[in-house]
Amino acid sequence: MQKFLIRLAINAVALYAALTIMEGNGVTLVNNTWLNIFILAFIFGVINATLKPLMMVLGCPFLILTLGLGTLLINTALFALAGWIGNLFQVGFTVSGFWPAFLGALIVSVVSFLLGLVFKPEKNRSK
């Protein structure tokens, strides 16, 4: 449960950073409250846990052909999808095109990676 909450907080901070940086540059946030950001982070996490592995398997030949750069396109699509689904619950954001979604997904990826390094949960060592 603790690992889930840490991951949720990391996603929330990463989404907040991306939405704050991209606000007015192709991304429009519906409601900018922390509760809405956490709900959006939960939606983003569910989408990444369910659809991303499926898209990675189905797009495996494309990913191999592009030497893994196709993952950026998958992240872009999932970022835009999270905003669209969030809009159905009045907590999301709208993206006006491919490049704002691409840059937003890139910011989320970088911030999540860096925060994941800082808040890496320790592994249980049994002796």
pLDDT tens digits for 49-94?
999 999 999 989 888 998 888 899 999 999 999 989 988 988 888 8
- Residue 99: pLDDT over 90: yes
Beta strand residue intervals within the chain, DSSP E: 27-29, 93-95
Residue 123: what pLDDT?
64
- Rounded Cα distance between 92 and 40, Å, is 6
- Residue 100: pLDDT over 90: yes
Residue 29: what pLDDT?
82
CB neighbours of residue 15 within 10 Å:
28
Residue 15: what pLDDT?
92
Torsions phi, psi for 27 (to 5 deg): -125, 130
pLDDT tens digits for 35-53?
888 999 999 999 999 999 9
Residue 53, both tokens: 């592995």
The full set of domain ranges for the chain reads 2-118
